[in-house]
Structure 1
Amino acid sequence: MTSGGRIADATLGRKTLFAVIALAAVCTGIAIGLTAKRAIWEGWVTDRLFQIRAMLTSGQETAPAPVVVVGLDQIALNSERLAPIPRVLMTPVMAEAGQAVLDAGALALGYDFVFAYSADAFTDLETGEARLKGFDQPFQRFLYRNRGRVFIAHTEIGVPHRSFSAAAGAGGVRSVTVSAENDGVVRRHSPNLPLSESSSLIDALISAAGVEVPEAYTAIPSAKLAASTPYLSMLDILTMQETEAGREDLKRFVDGRIVLFGGLLPYEDEHLYSDRFLPQTPADLSQTGASGRPRVQSYTAGVFILADLIGAALSDRMAVAPSAGTLPALALVFSVAGAATGLLLPLVTLPFMALGGVLAGLGVSLAGLEIDVLLSPGVAPVACVSAMIVAGIGKVGILQRRQRSLVRLFGHYLAPDVIKQMAQSEQLPELGGDTRNVVVAFIDIVGFTKMSEKLADRDVVRVVNSCFDAIGQVITSHQGYIDKYIGDAIMAVWNAPNIVENPEKAAVDAARDIIGKLDHIREITGQPPLDLRIALNSGPVLVGDIGGEHRRSFTVMGTTVNTASRIEAVAKDKKVRLAVSQSVAEKLPGSYPVAEIWSGQLRGLSSDISVFTLDIPEMYMEKSGDGSVGKDGKNRSKLLNFPR
């Protein structure tokens, strides 16, 4: 009886422990899953879901687009008709084109231009004579005559000239500002009710079409806007007006539609939009005028974004947030599934089950788009995986795995100094961190994409792992810390979390050793064409834990990191294996042959910088015929000696 009682107590205790772990795993999964809502990576996943949806619905017939874009593009500006006219003096042309569009049956018209200057106010510098007096009257009369149907733009920093504002009326000037999400991509629009009184041009044109949108929505694009939105060049409008057949064509193009006029010169008013991963509509299937359309850029012109946000509301091509309680319920279901998987299945199967949970969660979000509901795509996968991890770790505890095994396991993902600090204090570090000067390195495998196309997936993983292992050993031996792996690249840091005496020299020495091992890396990977590219930058960063109370990551972040990643593009362009910023180069000993290879302004930065390399043959990937690198592999730019 006693023995049986002890066995029963042990069994009951084990079941209770399993129940406690299951409950903890479910609660943790729900909490962490819900914190994934609006995570910075969630937008990227959403855009990928749009891409998958576009692939699945390819070939299906779609309703005609309700919005047409008329572009003041390079073709129009270079034409005989418009080339002699400065852009600030095009209001008569705008009036002529706008009236033509309205006469052809357009419902309403919006100008994505800030008419900040009036030709009437221009005076001769010598005589003071207002030589262009009355020049803008055609456009002013046009605005006055079509109040309620024609709207002009203002932005946060630009407003129309008072003469145009007066002609357009109190409701004729609307904002064209669009709001990007935390990853810098525009996806959503939040209407201000009532739409007819909203300050937004989007709301005004939606209202002009007789549609009401009561809540915020995310537009669901199905193709690249620049290739799929119905489009006419300004030159097309003017040309169509010259013949009866042309006027009929214009009527077929704009009748019953909203029309937006906007500038389409490269780098003017461009944004990242959620169409960035979508396919391009073939030229023969897109509605375009005789002049064609500008080429598709990586960034989307603001007028196309306005058109899509309007068109999404008019064609019911939008997704709204789910009702209250939907996301917690979804997190609960996936957390229960993750906890059960973590407790009941062997540990070796958990990575595969986690992948299955992620795919299932994304599948639910994809299905939500079909009913016009945007389920936060990170909630279900993160809830499932988080609960699975907690349950798995709890099961390891039940099986009495020794604590140092876990420490050894997490040592592959966290810095040893961070693990030691956590073990000593027996608690997590505080979120945030401190500012410290570090050296950041981006080490990229050159030719990885071509290599991966020719290899099986297992061989790709083997090559990457072998390469990363060899590089990682050199980084560690030079007191560096591997912050993360980014696809086929490594981000490494010197002077965080550990202290390094001379991080610039240590990082450059590590880079030289890594490049010196290139032949060895080629040998162990079996890839003779494989090459490496290393970019270094130093400066202040925020060092510490980021995330939330339930999920966090030790990392470094700041402009220094972003600049290092941009410098890699310079290394690629100049065909060097090592490129360093001036802040690194000037801290090197005088014996290091530093040579400047580039100077200018990197994309996304506001000031010029100089980029350097070590002027030794192994730093150059190939010889150039432009004079920058001689036959002996030496850079012909001036060697620099910084004050040491």
Structure 2
Amino acid sequence: MIFGGRFADAAIGRKQLILLIALVAVGAGIAIGLSAQKAIWEGWVTDRLFQIKALMDNKEQAGPAPVVVVGLDQKALNSDRLAPIPRVLMTPVLAEAGQAMLNAGAVALGYDFVFAYSADGFVDPSTGEARLKGFDLAFQRFLYQNRGKVFIAHTEIGVPQRMFSAAAGEGGVRSVIVSTDSDGVVRRHEPHSPLTASPHLIDALLGIAGVELAETYIPVPSARLATSVPYLSLIDVLQLLESDEGRQELAHFAEGRIVLFGGLLPYEDEHLFSDRFLPHLPEQLAETGPSGRPRVQPQTAGVFVLADFIGSPIAGRIVTEPPAGLVPAFAVIFAVVGALAGLSLPLVVLPVVAVGGVLCGLGVSLGSMELGMFPSPGVAPVAFVTATIIAAVGKVGILQRRQRSLVRLFGHYLAPDVIKLMASSEQLPALGGETRHVVVAFIDIVGFTKMSEKLADKDVVRVVNSCFDRIGQVITAHQGYIDKYIGDAIMAVWNAPNTVEHPEKSAVDAATEIINLLDRLREITGQPPLDLRIALNAGPVLVGDIGGEHRRSFTVMGTTVNTASRVESVAKDHKVRLAVSQSVAEKLPSSYPVAEIWKGQLRGLSSDITVYTLDLPEMYMEPEEKRTIARQEQDRSKLVTFPRS
């Protein structure tokens, strides 16, 4: 029932439904948002936030970096001194360079090399003589004399030769294994307390530096490590030892710092690290030896990764996990705001709002870095977007549910377009209407009276319903609106209540398709004599609700409608299936074969009118021979061409 222009049940359950949608949206937002933690795409977002932070800070490094890297790079290997020496036989050189850095003031050394072989084990294949016996003695003595300050590496598959392990002593061999996130990128390190007893090289050197750290941390680099970490080529260290000035420069690099030795050859021991999107530190700001730096590779050398994991806690460039409960709190807040946005804002602005919510969520993670913590950057944005989408879908679902209910209740009495208008406004349209330019069509089943006399009533209904069903599908497909059924005829309208860009063309196209259905209709109904007649007229009509408060009908009224019904009589007299008035014909494209069939004054009208058809065989009910005679008598064999834009 309808009271005061409103649906009586419009408010029944609406608040409860909105509350239910809000709760579902918030719950889903929280659950899906929290599931975004450690997602494979979240790492990429993390690295981009580091990039934004680096660009925002845009400042030089604060104070000297706490870790120096000495690299076995291509320049060192190609140098006159080192070129003749195989890499497996460089332990005396590494011992000399290591002792030089300790003498220059380094607090500790770490070798990112697995010394898996000893020269003592090599023999001359022709004589069996151990010609290199004692070759590694200098490096063994160096390790033994600097126990507690010098550490060598082991990996999952590589361990030092037992003589080196013995020389380094208990705790002198530490792991250089780094773990990756789900996307294969190295970002975080979990220290083992106490650090000095940890199996990791990173922890051991942090312990020597006096750092106290027990929770997992993420370094926050400010530039590509290959351009910012203080760096010396191994050959630089050896050459600087040869002069007093050089030794002073070594002291500048090493004093009070941790020194890491590692390989810098391309594609050896490289990792994806969170510095890969960061800007390069300008050369004039970087601490670099005389030989310069190796070329920056797409991935980051393992020794640089170790250097950042050690140097960032010392320099205070790390973030840790936020306190328990903070990330779920962010998920709740953003899910609630997203649900409110989805329920209260127009759909058209929600994409912009969603982007804003994502940016705010990322901004929370970015701002938290200043406080030394880093909440999962995917939780808040995903919670917001999920809640917004679910709330918006729920809101639209309520409206669609009301529309479906109205269609079920009134669909047999009112046009679906009118029902949707009522549903969207929750109000009945006002009586009266507007004047619009439309095309009116009358589609009549020819010979229906004679056919109905020979058929049972149920067969008549079957025939009519079968015809009207197929014809109605074509009308709807061409954007037409079935105004009413009048016995064995259909009255259809184009450009009301919906808007049609070219109503005349759409109406003629629909009429042509309907006429081409004749053979199919005859087959379906089992009535070979069945035929159709269609009349079209275009002009202004009154469109709207006609009737009273208790009973009304959406329809069109005016002279245009009456003229269309009169045009049908011309189609009948001239035995054509399609007859259109001049107001329709002159709006058709020039490719349509328009032919004049009659001109004069229709019954009930005060002015002359010209009627046309399409000069196509299927438009005529008579055989070609009779039509030829008629053309000769009426001299209308020429096609009509209207001036068209």
Common fold by TM > 0.5: yes
Q: Distance in 2 between matches of 1:61 and 1:150?
A: 27
1:147 equivalent to 2:144? Answer: no
For the residue of structure 2 that corresponds to 1:187, the secondary structure is coil
- Please report how far the alpha carbon of residue 312 of structure 1 lies from its aligned counterpart in structure 2 after TM superposition: 1.0
Partner of 1:119: 119
Q: Distance in 2 between matches of 1:27 and 1:381?
A: 15
For the residue of structure 1 that corresponds to 2:163, the secondary structure is helix
- Please report how far the alpha carbon of residue 3 of structure 1 lies from its aligned counterpart in structure 2 after TM superposition: 6.9
Partner of 2:135: 135
Q: Cα 1:403–1:97, aligned 2, differ >3 Å: closer, same or farther?
A: farther
- Please report how far the alpha carbon of residue 285 of structure 1 lies from its aligned counterpart in structure 2 after TM superposition: 0.9
For the residue of structure 2 that corresponds to 1:68, the secondary structure is strand
For the residue of structure 2 that corresponds to 1:52, the secondary structure is helix
1:277 equivalent to 2:281? Answer: no
Q: Distance in 2 between matches of 1:368 and 1:252?
A: 35
| 2:84 partner amino acid | P
After superposition, the C-alpha distances for 1:559-584 in whole angstroms (9 at most, x for unaligned) are xxxxxxxxxxxxxxxxxxxxxxxxxx
- Please report how far the alpha carbon of residue 11 of structure 1 lies from its aligned counterpart in structure 2 after TM superposition: 2.2
- Please report how far the alpha carbon of residue 123 of structure 1 lies from its aligned counterpart in structure 2 after TM superposition: 1.1
After superposition, the C-alpha distances for 1:212-247 in whole angstroms (9 at most, x for unaligned) are 111000110110000111000001100111111111
Partner of 2:215: 215
| Structure 2 stretches lacking a partner, 5+ long | 405-645
Q: Distance in 2 between matches of 1:235 and 1:60?
A: 28
| 2:165 partner amino acid | S
1:190 equivalent to 2:190? Answer: yes
| 2:331 partner amino acid | A
Partner of 1:300: 300
Pairwise CA RMSD: 1.8
Q: Distance in 2 between matches of 1:399 and 1:352?
A: 22
Q: Distance in 2 between matches of 1:118 and 1:104?
A: 28
- Please report how far the alpha carbon of residue 370 of structure 1 lies from its aligned counterpart in structure 2 after TM superposition: 1.1
Q: Spell out the pairing of 1:486-635 with structure 2 (5 A cutoff).
A: none
- Please report how far the alpha carbon of residue 402 of structure 1 lies from its aligned counterpart in structure 2 after TM superposition: 9.2
Partner of 1:392: 392
Q: Distance in 2 between matches of 1:170 and 1:370?
A: 40
- Please report how far the alpha carbon of residue 316 of structure 1 lies from its aligned counterpart in structure 2 after TM superposition: 1.2
| 2:102 partner amino acid | L
For the residue of structure 2 that corresponds to 1:232, the secondary structure is strand
Partner of 2:36: 36
- Please report how far the alpha carbon of residue 126 of structure 1 lies from its aligned counterpart in structure 2 after TM superposition: 2.2
User: Between the two proteins, what is the percent identity of the paired residues?
Assistant: 67
After superposition, the C-alpha distances for 1:186-217 in whole angstroms (9 at most, x for unaligned) are 00001111111111011111111111111000
Q: Cα 1:57–1:403, aligned 2, differ >3 Å: closer, same or farther?
A: farther
After superposition, the C-alpha distances for 1:307-329 in whole angstroms (9 at most, x for unaligned) are 00111111111110111100110
Q: Distance in 2 between matches of 1:17 and 1:39?
A: 33
Q: Cα 1:8–1:67, aligned 2, differ >3 Å: closer, same or farther?
A: farther
For the residue of structure 2 that corresponds to 1:222, the secondary structure is coil
Partner of 1:346: 346
- Please report how far the alpha carbon of residue 369 of structure 1 lies from its aligned counterpart in structure 2 after TM superposition: 1.0
Q: Distance in 1 between matches of 2:118 and 2:390?
A: 66
| 1:127 partner amino acid | T
Partner of 1:363: 363
Q: Cα 1:169–1:249, aligned 2, differ >3 Å: closer, same or farther?
A: same
- Please report how far the alpha carbon of residue 59 of structure 1 lies from its aligned counterpart in structure 2 after TM superposition: 2.3
Q: Distance in 1 between matches of 2:63 and 2:175?
A: 28
Q: Distance in 2 between matches of 1:314 and 1:354?
A: 39
Partner of 1:94: 94
| Structure 1 stretches lacking a partner, 5+ long | 405-644
| 1:340 partner amino acid | L
- Please report how far the alpha carbon of residue 9 of structure 1 lies from its aligned counterpart in structure 2 after TM superposition: 6.7
Q: How many residue pairs align between the two structures? A: 403
Partner of 2:501: none
- Please report how far the alpha carbon of residue 403 of structure 1 lies from its aligned counterpart in structure 2 after TM superposition: 11
- Please report how far the alpha carbon of residue 130 of structure 1 lies from its aligned counterpart in structure 2 after TM superposition: 1.1
Partner of 1:259: 259
| 1:364 partner amino acid | V
- Please report how far the alpha carbon of residue 63 of structure 1 lies from its aligned counterpart in structure 2 after TM superposition: 2.6
For the residue of structure 1 that corresponds to 2:11, the secondary structure is helix
- Please report how far the alpha carbon of residue 12 of structure 1 lies from its aligned counterpart in structure 2 after TM superposition: 5.1
TM-score, normalised relative to structure 2: 0.61
Q: Distance in 2 between matches of 1:204 and 1:225?
A: 21
| 2:316 partner amino acid | D
Partner of 1:63: 63
For the residue of structure 2 that corresponds to 1:389, the secondary structure is helix
For the residue of structure 2 that corresponds to 1:65, the secondary structure is coil
For the residue of structure 1 that corresponds to 2:400, the secondary structure is coil
Q: Cα 1:96–1:198, aligned 2, differ >3 Å: closer, same or farther?
A: same
After superposition, the C-alpha distances for 1:152-197 in whole angstroms (9 at most, x for unaligned) are 0000000000000000001000011111111011000011111111
| 1:277 partner amino acid | F
Partner of 1:162: 162
Partner of 1:240: 240
Q: Cα 1:130–1:24, aligned 2, differ >3 Å: closer, same or farther?
A: same
Partner of 1:80: 80
After superposition, the C-alpha distances for 1:70-110 in whole angstroms (9 at most, x for unaligned) are 00000000001101111011000010000000011101000
For the residue of structure 1 that corresponds to 2:40, the secondary structure is coil
Q: Distance in 2 between matches of 1:388 and 1:63?
A: 46
Q: Spell out the pairing of 1:479-490 with structure 2 (5 A cutoff).
A: none
| 2:111 partner amino acid | Y
State the 4+ residue runs in structure 1 displaced beyond 4 angstroms.
6-10, 401-404
Q: Distance in 1 between matches of 2:349 and 2:318?
A: 39
For the residue of structure 1 that corresponds to 2:115, the secondary structure is coil
- Please report how far the alpha carbon of residue 8 of structure 1 lies from its aligned counterpart in structure 2 after TM superposition: 8.3
| 1:314 partner amino acid | I
User: Whose radius of gyration is greater, 1 or 2?
Assistant: 2
Partner of 2:625: none
- Please report how far the alpha carbon of residue 7 of structure 1 lies from its aligned counterpart in structure 2 after TM superposition: 7.4
After superposition, the C-alpha distances for 1:360-411 in whole angstroms (9 at most, x for unaligned) are 001011001111111111000000000000000000011116999xxxxxxx
For the residue of structure 2 that corresponds to 1:312, the secondary structure is helix
Q: Distance in 1 between matches of 2:59 and 2:355?
A: 30
